[in-house]
Amino acid sequence: MSGPGTAAAALLPAVLLALLGPWAGRGGAAAPTAPNGTLEAELERSWESLLARSLTRLPVASQPKEAAVQSGAGDYLLGIKRLRRLYCNVGIGFHLQVLRDGRIGGAHADTRDSLLELSPVERGVVSIFGVASRFFVAMSSKGKLYGSAFFTSECKFKEILLPNNYNAYESYKYPSMFIALRKNGKTKNGNRVSPTNKVTHFLPRL
């Protein structure tokens, strides 16, 4: 598989031709000179500018991380994963957890089952994966949360930033259904809540 270096090398002949083309057709005439090496500096700046523009046209997976960030690709395209606990401030306060039998619930303490991996799927959409249980958080068409051993369309959630700096997680497949915890730490059906309800508010933290 070719990397960013190979892609950049493949662009070199075209870039050089674009830079030197106006002089190449003058019967071998020497390139105009400029005092104090300013021509060399100008060529270098032109090369860097053309290379940067060319890199932004490459698929994001082929770009160096720095170039992808500068081109505005965003973390969601770079596949940056976040290890977080999702804290819901209801009752005594609970962290969303994925148990090793696939059940979803809440735990007051920081447990290994509450450590989650949030991975971007597309802009504003994430998957939520239990690091210890190896299950994805998923939501059925009835708004019930469950653990899925495989990634499916029911494992995708819109991550919505709320005015209080908490997040709400809305099912991507079933709009208007949200991840929610009751005051006793049990899950609440997503079709019976809205982002105005505190039970849907989660604070990502370590």
Structural domains counted in the chain: 1
Residue 50, domain member (yes or no) = no
One pLDDT digit (tens) per residue for the chain, 206 residues: 445 455 445 545 554 555 555 444 444 444 444 455 565 555 555 545 544 444 444 443 334 444 433 433 344 445 789 999 999 999 999 999 999 999 999 999 999 999 999 999 999 999 999 999 999 999 999 999 999 999 999 999 999 999 999 999 999 999 999 999 999 999 999 999 999 999 999 999 98
Residue 21, domain member (yes or no) = no
Residue 76, domain member (yes or no) = no
For residue 30, what pLDDT is reported?
45
Residue 132, domain member (yes or no) = yes
| CA distances for 14 relative to 11, 25, 49, angstroms | 6, 16, 14
Instruction: Output the domain CATH number for residue 161.
Output: 2.80.10.50
For residue 116, what pLDDT is reported?
98
Residue 88, domain member (yes or no) = yes
Residue 47, domain member (yes or no) = no
Secondary structure of residue 24 in the 3-state scheme: helix
Which residue, 154, 150, 158, is CA-closest to 139?
154
For residue 171, what pLDDT is reported?
98
For residue 78, what pLDDT is reported?
53
Q: Which domain holds residue 108?
A: 83-205
For residue 41, what pLDDT is reported?
57
For residue 10, what pLDDT is reported?
52
Residue 103, domain member (yes or no) = yes
For residue 135, what pLDDT is reported?
98
For residues 132 and 46, give the distance between their C-alpha atoms in angstroms, rounded to a whole number: 51
Residue 141, domain member (yes or no) = yes
For residue 165, what pLDDT is reported?
94
Q: Count how many residues are written for the chain.
A: 206
For residue 80, what pLDDT is reported?
85
Tokens 């090793």 belong to residue: 100
pTM, two decimal places: 0.64
For residue 58, what pLDDT is reported?
40
For residue 75, what pLDDT is reported?
45
For residues 70 and 74, give the distance between their C-alpha atoms in angstroms, rounded to a whole number: 9
